[in-house]
Amino acid sequence: MNPAPFPPGELGEAVSVLVAGGLVAMPTETVYGLAADALNPEACRRVFALKGRPADHPLIVHVTPEAALEEWAVDIPESARKLKTAFWPGPLTIILKKSPRVPALVTGGQDSVGLRCPSHPVAQRLLREFAHAGSGAIAAPSANKFGHVSPTTARHVRDEFGPDLLVIDGGACEVGLESTIVDLSRGAPVLLRPGAVTREDIARVLGKAPRDRDPGAPRASGTLASHYAPRTPTELVETIALARRLREAAAAGTRVAVLARRGQADLPAFAWRESPNDPTGYGHELYARLRDLDGNHADLILVESPPAASDWEAVRDRLARAAAGADDADET
């Protein structure tokens, strides 16, 4: 049977690139992803090479809303079906035992696979068109060099990889933080990465809160101690200590850029960016703010620590990893 013709325009070009084993950048509601055919090991190998990503760091597989979990996973628990019904399409990745058709390269050699159905309309259309012409599954870590700040606009991707990569411009990402990752491959749910779908959201659906990550958990995207990091050294500073730390740095001749939830007032910052004081708005703006400050040629970025409340968990997670540095450091 002949494959379906490619749709016209940019989306058609993207589908043809994916079918040929190439890479494109696609928008999702979380961050932009560097997309390849998930069933083509050579294409996925190009993702690892372009990002500088370690081979044992698994890729998340993106599927259409119509896709059955059985196409990609085995031994599927009822909890996975409940979470799929509640949160797909949306910013939730579910880790399950992989089916034999998923290449080992995609899973970093593990027997589990991360599956997600993005809600961004452009991502959904690309997946559906690719389902007609190719495998219908797209492996798509964040479209940035490994360990660095994730991209939330098409321009961020172009800044990272230059003009040769086809980037589908879907506007600024709605969520702005990578998907929540829940491991269901070993029985009880385990939260591997917090995100817009909170542990309280998961508990409401499953009747119990997910456990915290444990030593036996599968490797998953964005869980290294250092990740999401600007190239400029970054420190998290408690609100009460921010003014003092800023004045100390300025007195030492350090060019300091600041990300805070308040205005600059009379504090001696080289660059200052004010972020929303709610976790949803803060998460939406976070990576754009960090990229902006990273481009200001400062010696140091100081970030006012976010509140300890549970609804700030995802923001705190990303900032803690960003402040750990980029040297040993993604995902949609």
- pTM score, whole prediction: 0.93
> Residue 95: which of 25, 193, 173 has the closest Cα?
193
Q: Note down the domain range covering 162.
A: 9-212
Residues 192 and 136 in one domain: yes
Residues 64 and 184 in one domain: yes
Residues 200 and 243 in one domain: no
pLDDT in tens, 214-232: 988 998 877 776 678 899 9
Cβ atoms of 275 and 312 within 8 Å: the answer is no
Domain count, the chain: 2
Residue recorded with tokens 């809600």: 119
Residues 179 and 244 in one domain: no
Residues 66 and 23 in one domain: yes
Establish if 226 belongs to a structural domain. no
Query: What are the structure tokens assigned to 263, written together?
Result: 């205005």
Find all residues with CB under 8 Å of 181, minimum gap 6, and list them. 93, 95, 114, 191, 192, 193, 195, 220, 221, 222, 223
Establish if 228 belongs to a structural domain. no
Starting at the earlier edge strand, list the strands of the sheet with 300-304: 234-237, 300-304, 256-260, 271-274
Task: Give the number of other CB atoms < 10 A from CB of residue 281.
Answer: 12
Cβ atoms of 287 and 149 within 8 Å: the answer is yes
Residues 120 and 188 in one domain: yes
Establish if 223 belongs to a structural domain. no
CATH number for the domain that contains residue 302? 3.40.50.11030
Establish if 217 belongs to a structural domain. no
Residues 142 and 246 in one domain: no
Cβ atoms of 106 and 113 within 8 Å: the answer is yes
Residue 192 has phi, psi (to 5 degrees) of -95, -30
Task: Give the number of other CB atoms < 10 A from CB of residue 193.
Answer: 24
Establish if 331 belongs to a structural domain. no
CATH number for the domain that contains residue 197? 3.90.870.10
pLDDT in tens, 17-60: 999 999 999 999 999 999 999 999 999 999 999 999 999 999 99
Domain stop point among 212, 245, 276: 212
Residues 108 and 206 in one domain: yes
Each of the 332 residues of the chain gets a pLDDT tens digit; together they read 334 444 567 899 999 999 999 999 999 999 999 999 999 999 999 999 999 999 999 999 999 999 999 999 999 999 999 999 999 999 999 999 999 999 999 999 999 999 999 999 999 999 999 999 999 999 999 999 998 999 999 999 999 999 999 999 999 999 999 999 999 999 999 999 999 999 999 999 999 999 999 988 998 877 776 678 899 999 999 999 999 999 999 999 999 999 999 888 888 888 999 999 999 999 999 999 999 999 999 999 999 999 999 999 999 999 999 998 644 445 67
- State the Cα–Cα distance between residues 332 and 100, nearest whole angstrom: 23
> Residue 38: which of 152, 121, 119, 126 has the closest Cα?
126
- State the Cα–Cα distance between residues 246 and 260, nearest whole angstrom: 12
Residues 206 and 299 in one domain: no
Residues 21 and 159 in one domain: yes
Q: C-alpha 62: how far from its chain's center?
A: 12
Establish if 3 belongs to a structural domain. no
Residues 84 and 199 in one domain: yes
